[in-house]
Chains A and B, each alone.
Chain A
Amino acid sequence: MESEWIIELEEVDVTHPEEGEMMLVLAVQWRIARGDFWVVGGPPGSGKSSLLATAAGLNRPGGGVLRILGHDLSEATEADQIQWRQRIGFMFEQGGRLFPQLTVAQNMGLALQYHTTLTEDEILKQVEDWLARVGLSMHANTSPARLNQLWQQRVGLARALMMPKEVLFVDNPPGGRTRDAAWWRNQLASLAAEGMTVIVGSNDFSLWLDTAKQFALVQDGHFTVIGGPEQVRAGTEAAWREYIMVD
């Protein structure tokens, strides 16, 4: 039986993905329950993205215990990790890290082609449905390089969700008072309403005050849970207000 915590970090040290010895965030205590909606903020370069990648099992922690879907990462084989990753979606920042040699549709269909026995027509149907959902139906056969970064991120979201997921990590979606930011808020709110656990890395807390359940902060190498939207609104004098947007 799986625990109520879908992801647990106990005293986890988050390292730099390229320079493994460099510690970014120390002794993270973080428990993510099923159906949670978290927003994690922090100054640029604080290790927010690395923390999200570590919690998703993409970066090896520098220390501590990381349990993903009830399994200890340190005891997991590569095959186990590949299995879990199929249940966890990750939308990367800055263009979603699409594969430039594949078209938009091929990017989206890759996981289905790799993991399932669906026919090409069935995969194409699902890709078309998702393209319609993210508003990019006209760009199925376009190279990702020809899309702007905002649209690339939408394709990144669709690619992450092509297979059924339990958890979705979204790193740095568009913020501010823009149509794109509102689109992302609505999409993630609807996914959370469907029962998905959502973790967003963003410095724009104001966008998520009506949607997210929990807010946390990465600052000076430490991870701090602020609490719910009320605590965020109440923290008018807090130091993190310098770089976190809260209207």
Chain B
Amino acid sequence: MCSGSAQGRMRGVMMVAAKKTIWNLYRETTGNRIIRAVDLLRELGAFAIITIGVTITKFNVASRVVHPLIYEQVWRAGVRLFAMVAFIAMALGLVIVGQTVSLLTRMGAQEYIGTVMVTVVMRELGPLLTALLVLARAGTANVVELGTARAMGEVEALESLGIDTVHYLVMPRVIGLAVSVFCLATYLMVITFGCGWLFAFVQDVPLTLGDYFGQLGKAMRWQDFLLFAVKTGLFGCIIAVVSCYHGLARPLKVEDVSGVTTRAVVESVIGCVLFDAVFILAYLFV
């Protein structure tokens, strides 16, 4: 009896220990990750709010210093990506749009061409693809630049001159990337539609250019343009805020910069995809 009771107690102790271990394991893995994710969201939110505040209150402050930095960002994240975006847009137009147009025409469903194109290219693929291209080119460069500047003490040097680092380093990047993603997405959309028709033309699809663009025009509503502008601008802001946050928010050593860049890319992609999902809800109501 005594031995059985001891065994029972032992089993009880072992179960408690196992439960504790499982709890610790949960806390150290999933739990900690959730806490870290919530912390990150809170910090990113705070950083974004500070940036919005500075942008609203200081947009015209020291404009001769800060506005050229905005143009520089538009040049780096926008104009310099023209060739790459054109290449992707042509590929997209020829491979996806052209085939879709051809297929719909053969099936006698020509009247849906406009709706399908607007849904696929204008609402979804165009903004997201452009955002990913800008992230790859400009977002990563932002983290490396700002992270290195932080590690080399240049950010502290700016502060010593009384220069607001959010105003000087973050605001131009946020505005520059928002404008760039919007412009590049528009550019991508136009080339994709054009190349789509070209592919259909080459395949002898009986669809005139006028009919094709007429259908596209009919399928586009003013809400589409508004949401397209908001969505692309927001994607640019997300990439800029996440990349600037990772470059600036924490003290870095030079060897930390590569790891931080990877994190910024992953988080920017997640952020853009999550906001894309939010926009799907918006499209349901318009």
Interface string of B152-171 (1 = CB under 8 A from A): 11101111111110001000
Distance of A159 Cα from B159 Cα, bound (Å): 13
Shortest C-beta distance, A52 to chain B (Å), equals 11
Distance of A20 Cα from B249 Cα, bound (Å): 13
Interface residues of A in 183-229 (CB under 8 A from B): none
Cβ-defined partner of A114 (8 Å) among B62, B252, B253: B62
Distance of A177 Cα from B156 Cα, bound (Å): 31
Residue contact B163 to A111, C-beta cutoff 8 Å:
yes
Given contacts A113-B64, A113-B65, contact A18 B156 (CB under 8 A): no
> B12 near A: Cβ within 8 Å?
no
Given contacts A18-B253, A113-B65, contact A86 B162 (CB under 8 A): yes
> A115 near B: Cβ within 8 Å?
yes
Residue contact B162 to A115, C-beta cutoff 8 Å:
yes
> B8 near A: Cβ within 8 Å?
no
> B45 near A: Cβ within 8 Å?
no
Given contacts A17-B251, A19-B251, A110-B65, contact A92 B153 (CB under 8 A): yes
Given contacts A113-B62, A113-B65, contact A85 B161 (CB under 8 A): yes
Shortest C-beta distance, B141 to chain A (Å), equals 12
Question: Across the interface, which residues of B come within 8 angstroms of A82, CB to CB?
Answer: 162-164
Question: Across the interface, which residues of A come within 8 angstroms of B153, CB to CB?
Answer: 92, 97
Residue contact A97 to B162, C-beta cutoff 8 Å:
no
> A131 near B: Cβ within 8 Å?
no
Chain B interface bracket (under 10, 10 to 19, 20 to 34, 35 or more): 10 to 19
Distance of A122 Cα from B251 Cα, bound (Å): 37
Closest partner residue, chain B, to A116 (CB atom): B62
Residue contact A99 to B157, C-beta cutoff 8 Å:
yes
Distance of A176 Cα from B206 Cα, bound (Å): 87
Shortest C-beta distance, A151 to chain B (Å), equals 17
Residue contact A83 to B64, C-beta cutoff 8 Å:
no
Cβ-defined partner of A85 (8 Å) among B62, B64, B162: B162
Question: Across the interface, which residues of A come within 8 angstroms of B154, CB to CB?
Answer: 97, 99-100
Max chain B Cβ within 10 angstroms of own Cβ: one of A97, A110, A113, A114 = A114
Residue contact A85 to B159, C-beta cutoff 8 Å:
yes
Residue contact A83 to B162, C-beta cutoff 8 Å:
yes
Cβ-defined partner of B162 (8 Å) among A18, A99, A111, A113: A111
Question: Across the interface, which residues of B come within 8 angstroms of A78, CB to CB?
Answer: 164
Interface string of A159-185 (1 = CB under 8 A from B): 110010000000000000000000000
Closest partner residue, chain A, to B72 (CB atom): A101
Closest partner residue, chain A, to B61 (CB atom): A114
Closest partner residue, chain B, to A79 (CB atom): B164
Distance of A227 Cα from B154 Cα, bound (Å): 34
> A58 near B: Cβ within 8 Å?
yes
Distance of A138 Cα from B5 Cα, bound (Å): 92
Shortest C-beta distance, B56 to chain A (Å), equals 14
> A53 near B: Cβ within 8 Å?
yes
> A56 near B: Cβ within 8 Å?
yes
> A90 near B: Cβ within 8 Å?
yes
Interface residues of A in 65-103 (CB under 8 A from B): 78, 82-86, 88-90, 92, 96-100
Question: Across the interface, which residues of A come within 8 angstroms of B251, CB to CB?
Answer: 17-20
Cβ-defined partner of B156 (8 Å) among A17, A100, A114: A17
Q: Which residues does A use to contact B, with CB under 8 Å? A: 17-20, 53, 56, 58, 78, 82-86, 88-90, 92, 96-100, 110-111, 113-115, 159-160, 163
A88-B160, A97-B156 are known; give 20 further A-B pairs, CB within 8 A: A17-B251, A18-B253, A53-B156, A58-B160, A78-B164, A85-B161, A85-B162, A90-B157, A92-B156, A92-B157, A92-B160, A96-B157, A97-B153, A97-B154, A99-B154, A100-B154, A114-B161, A114-B168, A115-B162, A159-B161
Q: Which residues does B use to contact A, with CB under 8 Å? A: 62, 64-65, 152-154, 156-164, 168, 251-253
- Residue pairs across A and B with Cβ atoms less than 8 A apart, 22 shown, are A18-B253, A19-B251, A20-B251, A58-B159, A82-B162, A85-B159, A85-B162, A86-B161, A88-B160, A97-B154, A97-B156, A97-B157, A99-B154, A99-B157, A99-B158, A110-B161, A111-B161, A114-B62, A114-B65, A114-B162, A114-B168, A115-B162
